[in-house]
């Protein structure tokens, strides 16, 4: 049912791309953990890395992914890089979520109305042709 598949896409391409970057960033548990660490305020990269067994390099990579998705803001103070949560990055995702049911119901409308059209005439409703 390709029409229904196509209808399953939600969001405009631009907003979809932004949401996609956020979703990919959120898909990793380490990155979600980083977001929990920095939601209370700025932390230096080293402080963040100290919460993980992973190498500083690996943590650095996660921070870059989060920064590219807009989920964290990076600020340099001397040699230090400070990171803080930017919750506004979740807005496009939230908008996609808000479209979940409206787009499903649009498919429902399409399907019901097609089924009504294709249904053999019901003599109790349409009257008999004789």
Partner 1 sequence: MTVPEVLKATVRIGATPAEVFPYFVDPVLMIQWIGEWADLCPEPGGLFALDFAKTPVRGQYLEVEPPRRVVFTWGVAGKDSLPPGSTTVEVTLTEDGPDTVVQLVHHDLPTEEFDGHLKGWTSMLDLLAHLHTGPQPGEAATDLRRPAPGGHA
Footprint of partner 1 (CB under 8 A): 1, 4-6, 8-11, 13-14, 16-17, 19-20, 23-24, 26-27, 32, 35-36, 39, 85, 87-88, 90, 93-94, 96-98, 100-102, 104-113, 116
- Dig out the tokens for 119 from the structure: 């249904």
Residue 78 or 120 with smaller CB distance to partner 1 = 120
Q: Roughly how many angstroms between the first and final C-alpha of the chain, as a whole number?
A: 37
Least Å distance, CB 79 to partner 1, is 29
Residue 49 or 71 with smaller CB distance to partner 1 = 71
Give Dmax over CA atoms of the chain in angstroms.
91
For residues 51 and 37, the answer to whether their CB atoms sit within 8 Å is yes
Least Å distance, CB 75 to partner 1, is 20
What backbone phi and psi angles, to 5 degrees, belong to 84?
-140, 155
Dist CA 117 CA 46 (whole Å): 65
Residue 11 or 49 with smaller CB distance to partner 1 = 11
């Amino acid at each position: 049912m390709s029409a229904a598949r196509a209808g399953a896409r939600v969001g405009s391409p631009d907003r979809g791309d932004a949401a996609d970057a956020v979703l990919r960033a959120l898909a990793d548990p380490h990155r979600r953990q980083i977001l929990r660490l920095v939601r209370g305020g700025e932390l230096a990269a080293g402080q963040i890395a100290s919460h993980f067994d992973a190498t500083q390099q690996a943590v650095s990579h996660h921070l870059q992914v989060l920064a590219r998705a807009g989920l964290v803001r990076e600020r340099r103070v001397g040699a230090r890089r400070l990171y803080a949560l930017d919750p506004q990055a979740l807005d496009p995702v939230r908008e996609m979520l808000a479209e979940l049911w409206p787009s499903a119901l649009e498919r429902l409308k399409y399907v019901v109305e097609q089924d009504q059209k294709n249904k053999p005439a019901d003599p109790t409703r349409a009257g008999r042709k004789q």
